[in-house]
Structure 1
Amino acid sequence: MQQLDHHSTRLITIFKRKGGAAGRKIRTIMADLDKNDAVETRRACVLKALMVYLNEDPENLIREYMDVEDNQEAMDQTVLGIFAIKMEGAESSDGLADVGIIIEGVEVLHDLDNTANAVAILFGLMYSLDLSYPTNLKYTFEVLQKLVMELDGNKLSTKAQVLKNKLFEGTF
């Protein structure tokens, strides 16, 4: 979390420069910061915006539900992801009743407080269990591993290298 917080100001600046459809999606995601500037909200917004910036859909990783029982079938079909159950009437991510991790349709963890914490724990599980990154989220997990966590950052994909260049631009 410390590394994410360290990079978040620069990432937000990079995200604000993004144009087109991705830029509009990022601005919609970042609008949550205007409603609630809590650290947890900031982290969740940065992670979701990062996924959009890398042309990946945040819904592929983080699914928000209003009621568990109505969405149990969708949760059972999830191969790997995070569920966030919103309290009725909640508008931002601070109104979460439960956050957890699903692997192969099985809820492996719950009561994780917030989505950023769940992403960190899921990343740790995937890294320690040597699970392959899902193809529809490979760039997000690569950036988390190699740029944010600084693990095995020698060889980067083109997308990750471009983001790294922008992230460290002018810091030397």
Structure 2
Amino acid sequence: MKGLPVFLREDPDLLFKHCLETDPDDVAAKGVTVGILYVLEDCVAEASSPKIQNIALILEESIVVKDLPDTSTALAYLLGLLYALNISYPEDLKYTFETFQKVFMETGPKCSNRVRSLKKKLCLV
């Protein structure tokens, strides 16, 4: 899931954000309209990768849901909230969200050429 924006030639850092557990919530969410926030452990040995302490959702610069178990669940919640609250997808991530909606959730028949290409490569056509 994290590699999907890269494949679609979009910036994954616009959707997936990282902060340390000691960072204030308002600093981590500042400037983010839609995103998934990974709260990382503060004290980590340089040789090891940081451990994820929490996964949260950001909508319009506010953390709206915390303590999600994994990225897939976070994406499902995010799509549900965007639909329920009638929030538009970020323009910079339109192909990523179109793929989530039309390929993985199977809602809507028409896809853009970029998403249709991915769908063909996944042998879903």
Structure 1 or 2: more strand by fraction: 2
Match of 1:91 in 2: 49
Which whole-Å deviations, capped at 9, do the CAs of 1:13-40 have from their partners, x for residues lacking one?
xxxxxxxxxxxxxxxxxxxxxxxxxxxx
Q: Deviations over 1:63-114 (max 9, x none)?
A: 011234267424232111111111132616xx21111111111111101122
Aligned to 1:123: 79
Tell me, in whole angstroms, the C-alpha distance in 2 between the residues paired with 1:125 and 1:160.
22
Give the TM-score normalised by the residue count of structure 2: 0.85
2:3 and 2:13 map into 1 onto residues whose CA distance is 12
Say whether residues 1:77 and 2:35 are aligned partners. no
Q: Say which structure is richer in helix.
A: 1
Are 1:51 and 1:57, in contact at CA under 8 Å, matched by a contact in 2?
A: yes
Do the aligned partners of 1:84 and 1:115 also contact (CA within 8 Å) in 2?
A: no
- The equivalent residue for 2:96 is 140
8 A contact 2:29–2:61 mirrored in 1: yes
Find the aligned partners of 1:131 and 1:72 in 2 and give their Cα distance: 20
What RMSD, in angstroms, separates the aligned Cα atoms of the two structures?
Answer: 2.0
Residues 147-169 of structure 1: CA deviation (Å, up to 9, x unaligned):
111111x2110101111111117
> Secondary structure of 2:3's match?
helix
Q: How does 1:29-68 map to 2 (within 5 A)?
A: 47-68=1-22
Select between 111-120 and 63-72 the one with higher mean Cα deviation: 63-72
Q: Alpha carbons of 1:130 and 1:114: their partners in 2 closer, same or farther (altered >3 Å)? A: same
State the alpha-carbon separation in 1 of the partners of residues 83 and 74 from structure 2.
Answer: 14
Measured after TM superposition, the shift of residue 140 of structure 1 is 0.6
Residue ranges of structure 1 left out of the alignment (5+ in a row) = 1-46
Residue 48 (structure 1) shift? 1.2
In 2, distance between residues paired with 1:75 and 1:133? 17
CA distance in 2, matches of 1:66, 1:106: 16
Give me the whole-angstrom Cα distance separating, in 2, the residues matched to 1:49 and 1:130: 26
Unpaired runs of 5+ in structure 2? none
What code does the residue aligned with 1:155 have? Answer: K
Cα distance in 2 for residues equivalent to 1:165 and 1:97: 36
Number of aligned residues: 121
